[in-house]
């Protein structure tokens, strides 16, 4: 659980990291104690799990139990519409959606306008939705102010540079009212021709794991960080925005290679794990995002107990394969497979999220998805929303802060 006492420490971290030139290896965050997750004794982040004896989970489960099936279904959908019209966004979120993903079309000219826009997404200040962004930096960057080192250089710099860059990066997010970053690429490849090479934090499992863990540790005290794209793009050639990348890599090979950065990020406390539309045929012919087998591996083998979020389900449609042409069917299948948060961006209209909600309700009514599976997903998402709402940070620009040591 993120703590409420960020104060001067994290402002100093951000300012210290902001002062780093591209390529600098100066550290802006201290090592985090593995048991208490204490940063310089000023930010306390107790370990939490989704088990029934966790107080946060218990409170979230109670809230979900009082919701209708329709409300539960809406709470597991993260939607998107491409506009900066605050009124349109506020109206869109009145559906009770669990979250919203900001894309380039949602980013106004300056930070104050962005903060106003994110405020418009929240109809209940006591329980705001998850407001997410893909802020990797570098190749994938929604915020012009983010000029900090990114994967293209971080992969060849000392690990401390990754911590510094991501500390600075998430300061921009939280000042703008964003509390989820889909920003940590845990894929690994040494092939410069790979679609994911420029975005990966390492060229081999060990170095990628170090930087993924550093990025996670830097972000988690401030925002909910996300590891993507599980089980790993590196082994599966092709761009999942337009196809279903496929590999015949065995589970044993995966454990020794592509799994390593994800395991490191999970151990470092990542709040979310994004499943890619990737087919590892030796495990399951279906894309991982729709695969019960891969969800079981993440939960039972890697021990991930946070929120599993799909990559953009619109990408499945973009593959052109007829079996993935229906976004509602894709959402229902992903939920049944074990995903908790269903993300829909490409091709999304103001009606798409509502159609997904109605499809989930129909699936529960028909028994295609069990009521318990929906409640489980809704509880995980609710717990994260409650956690974020309980840990606000006030940010202001600081002209004379000294970098943290």
> Where in the sequence numbering do the catalytic residues fall?
241, 311
Helices in 176-309 by DSSP H: which ranges?
205-219, 251-256, 259-267, 292-296
Q: Is 89 left (phi over 0), alpha (psi -120 to 50) or beta?
A: alpha
Sign of the torsion angle spanned by Cα atoms 36, 46, 225, 364: positive
Q: Rounded to an integer, what distance in angstroms lies between the CA atom of residue 226 and that of residue 181?
A: 6
Sign of the torsion angle spanned by Cα atoms 396, 397, 402, 405: positive
Tokens 């990737």 correspond to 278
Provide the CA 157 distance to its chain's centre, in angstroms. 24
Tokens 């009082």 correspond to 66
Which neighbouring-strand residues pair with 343?
A: 78
- φ, ψ of residue 345 to 5 degrees: the values are -125, -65
Q: Rounded to an integer, what distance in angstroms lies between the CA atom of residue 9 and that of residue 393?
A: 11
Cis, bond preceding 231 (omega within 30 deg of 0): yes
Sign of the torsion angle spanned by Cα atoms 80, 81, 85, 87: negative
Q: Are 365 and 332 in contact (CB under 8 A)?
A: no
- Does residue 11 sit in helix, strand or coil? helix
Q: Which two tokens stand for residue 148?
A: 């900090």
Q: Rounded to an integer, what distance in angstroms lies between the CA atom of residue 97 and that of residue 347?
A: 18
Q: Are 64 and 378 in contact (CB under 8 A)?
A: yes
Q: Rounded to an integer, what distance in angstroms lies between the CA atom of residue 92 and that of residue 75?
A: 13
Residues 6 or more apart from 18 whose CB is under 8 A from it?
148, 168, 171
Measured CA to CA in angstroms, residue 162 lies from 165, 201, 207 at distances of 5, 9, 11
Residues 6 or more apart from 326 whose CB is under 8 A from it?
none
């Amino acid at each position: 659980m993120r703590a409420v006492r960020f104060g001067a420490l994290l402002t100093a971290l951000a300012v210290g990291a902001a002062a780093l030139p591209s390529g600098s290896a100066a550290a802006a965050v201290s090592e985090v104690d593995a048991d208490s997750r204490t940063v310089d004794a000023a930010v306390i982040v107790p370990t939490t799990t989704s088990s029934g004896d966790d107080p946060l989970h218990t409170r979230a489960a109670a809230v979900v139990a009082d919701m209708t099936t329709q409300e539960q279904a809406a709470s597991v959908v993260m939607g998107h519409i491409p506009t900066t019209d605050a009124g349109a966004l506020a109206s869109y979120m009145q559906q009770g959606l669990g979250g919203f993903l900001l894309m380039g079309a949602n980013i106004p000219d300056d930070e104050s306008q962005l903060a106003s826009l994110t405020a418009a997404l929240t109809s209940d200040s006591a329980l705001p939705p998850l407001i997410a962004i893909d802020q990797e930096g570098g190749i994938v960057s929604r915020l012009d102010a983010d000029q900090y080192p990114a994967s293209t250089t971080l992969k060849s710099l000392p690990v401390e540079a990754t911590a510094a860059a991501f500390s600075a990066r998430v300061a921009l997010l939280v000042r703008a009212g964003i509390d989820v970053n889909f920003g940590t690429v845990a894929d690994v490849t040494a092939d410069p021709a790979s679609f994911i090479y420029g975005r990966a934090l390492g060229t081999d499992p060990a170095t990628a794991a170090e930087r993924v863990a550093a990025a996670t540790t830097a972000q988690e005290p401030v925002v909910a960080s996300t590891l993507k794209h599980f089980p790993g793009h590196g082994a599966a050639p092709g761009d999942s925005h337009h196809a279903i990348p496929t590999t015949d890599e065995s589970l044993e090979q995966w454990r020794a290679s592509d799994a390593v950065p994800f395991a490191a990020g999970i151990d470092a406390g990542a709040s979310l794990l994004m499943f890619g539309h990737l087919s590892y045929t030796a495990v399951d012919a279906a894309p991982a995002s729709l695969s019960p087998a891969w969800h079981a591996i993440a939960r039972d083998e890697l021990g991930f107990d946070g929120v599993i979020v799909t990559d953009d389900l619109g990408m499945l449609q973009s593959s052109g394969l007829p079996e993935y042409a229906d976004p509602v069917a894709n959402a229902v299948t992903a939920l049944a497979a074990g995903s908790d948060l269903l993300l829909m961006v490409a091709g999304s209209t103001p009606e798409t999220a509502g159609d997904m909600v109605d499809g989930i309700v129909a699936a529960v009514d028909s028994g295609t998805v069990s009521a318990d599976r929906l409640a489980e997903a809704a509880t995980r998402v609710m717990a994260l929303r409650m956690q974020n709402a309980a840990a606000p940070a006030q940010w202001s620009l600081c002209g004379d802060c000294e970098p943290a040591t």
